[in-house]
Amino acid sequence: MITADVLALGLGVEPPWKLVDQRLETDKRPHELRIELAADRGAEFPCPDCGRLCKARDFNSFTWRHLNFFQHHCYITARVPRTDCPEHGVKRITVPWARAGSRFTLLFEQAALILVREMPVLAAARIMAITDKRLWRIVEHYVAKALSGLKLEHLKAFAFDETASKRGHNYVTVFIDLARKGRPVVFATPGKGKQTVSDFKAFLEAHGGKPERVVEVVCDMSPAFLAAVGETFEKASQTVDWFHVVQLFTTAVDEVRKAERRQVELPDATRWAVLKAHDGGRLSDKQAAALAELEAGDFLTAQAWRIKEKLRWVRAAETSHAARWRITHFLRHARERIADNPMLEKLRQAVETVEKHQERILQRWTSTYNNARLEALNGIFKAARARARGYRNVATFITMIYLIAAPLGELFNSI
Ligand SMILES: [Zn+2]
């Protein structure tokens, strides 16, 4: 077997294409392996629209970046014909080694995608020696292609939540299928609020789903969301995720702390001590000391924190009946503690919100779906932010969320 055949085989080049030239350009750093392909004289090419074999009308030269040949960058150049189909007119053909419009070979893109699944895009771009912007374009193409084949005809229950791609900016709302154990994300869209619910409905219908088949929706207590869900998914019951109840009280406790700090001096490390404890995070010695001092000093922040901590006891209820009793008790206890102290206003509002949505909160005890999903979603957001580092905007953030957590199937094996 001669060298040309070996290279052609490695490239997957088949007739009418053949390798006509190869040279290593050693004046460049790194060296460049230049491979030239050409089609047999007189060969016919399929029209890109209908596949009818046509004679070449004219040719133009194109170059693709290919996988490195050892440490050398490798480029393929070929004169690509345009067909002149009687039905579809003049069209540039798609070559078998690259997708239309790409300046990279399929093998190069496949290697890039394998890296991107394992590491931040910026790091993958460095290894492949291309700009991260170009790599993002490749990733976005394949993710969109895989998503277009997503089938949602079985979707019966979903949850959604919003997050910011940067702190306080550029919101993205993400929808997960509650029946999917791994890779639950089925839709992510820019923005937050009511519109995103109709956007999801349209997406669901475009992917074979039926809004009237949806029986349960899990979301937070935002009145706009709840109203939108009620209007758009009429048959669905609404469940408030426990995660959002805790979040509501955590924010309220923090507001009390801020208000109290303006009047008295709070122990150092108070902030993290009262915020952290809610998710079982371990307190540092300093934070534990702050908490002990807060409690001993009978600060309002400590009182607010104790109310919030009682939520753990509510959550631990094993039956819906027990949970109902505990929530009632919790609300009464909280109201007594808060009384009409204006400093605890935020907490009073949180209590009111929980009271208003009590039935939807209680649903979690009867729901057939695992309720830890929205909490898991926050882990996905965090990972996506890190992996899109360096070139993060709403589009790349959404692409990364899909890449990490959407059921993209055999995407990477089918290119
Ligand atoms: Zn045609």
CB atoms < 10 A from the CB of 128, how many? 22
Give me the pLDDT at residue 415, please. 46
Give me the pLDDT at residue 312, please. 92
Q: How far is the CA of 84 from the centre of ligand 1 (A)?
A: 8
Please state at what angle helix 285-297 crosses helix 300-315, rounded to 10 degrees. 110
8 A C-beta contact, residue 111 and residue 127: no
For 164, phi then psi, to 5°, come to -105, 140
Give me the pLDDT at residue 137, please. 94
123-167 pLDDT, tens per residue?
999 999 999 999 999 999 999 999 998 999 999 999 999 998 877
Give me the pLDDT at residue 250, please. 92
Q: How far is the CA of 89 from the centre of ligand 1 (A)?
A: 7
Q: How many CA atoms lie within 13 A of 171 on its CB side?
A: 11
Q: How far is the CA of 223 from the centre of ligand 1 (A)?
A: 54
Q: How far is the CA of 15 from the centre of ligand 1 (A)?
A: 21
Which residues make up the environment of ion ligand 1, defined by Cβ < 5 Å?
Answer: 47, 49-50, 52, 85, 87-88
Report in angstroms the alpha-carbon separations of 249 from 307, 345, 348, 349, 352. Answer: 9, 12, 10, 10, 11
Classify residue 167 by its DSSP letter: T
Q: How far is the CA of 78 from the centre of ligand 1 (A)?
A: 22
Q: How far is the CA of 147 from the centre of ligand 1 (A)?
A: 28
Q: How far is the CA of 108 from the centre of ligand 1 (A)?
A: 29
In three-state secondary structure terms, 155 is: coil
Q: How far is the CA of 40 from the centre of ligand 1 (A)?
A: 21
Q: How far is the CA of 56 from the centre of ligand 1 (A)?
A: 13
Give me the pLDDT at residue 1, please. 46
In three-state secondary structure terms, 232 is: helix
- Structural domains present in the chain: 3-103 (no CATH), 111-241+371-415 (3.30.420.10), 259-352 (no CATH)
Give me the pLDDT at residue 412, please. 52
Give me the pLDDT at residue 333, please. 95
CB-based burial, 378-408: b 16+ in 10 Å, e otherwise: eebbeebbebbeebbebbbbbbbbbbbbbbb
Give me the pLDDT at residue 370, please. 64
Q: How far is the CA of 7 from the centre of ligand 1 (A)?
A: 32
214-264 pLDDT, tens per residue?
999 998 888 888 899 999 999 999 999 888 899 899 999 999 999 998 888
Q: How far is the CA of 138 from the centre of ligand 1 (A)?
A: 27
- Stated pTM of the model: 0.84
Give me the pLDDT at residue 281, please. 59
Q: Which residues of the chain have pLDDT under 70?
A: 1-9, 276-281, 370-372, 409-415
Q: How far is the CA of 96 from the centre of ligand 1 (A)?
A: 17
8 A C-beta contact, residue 187 and residue 155: no
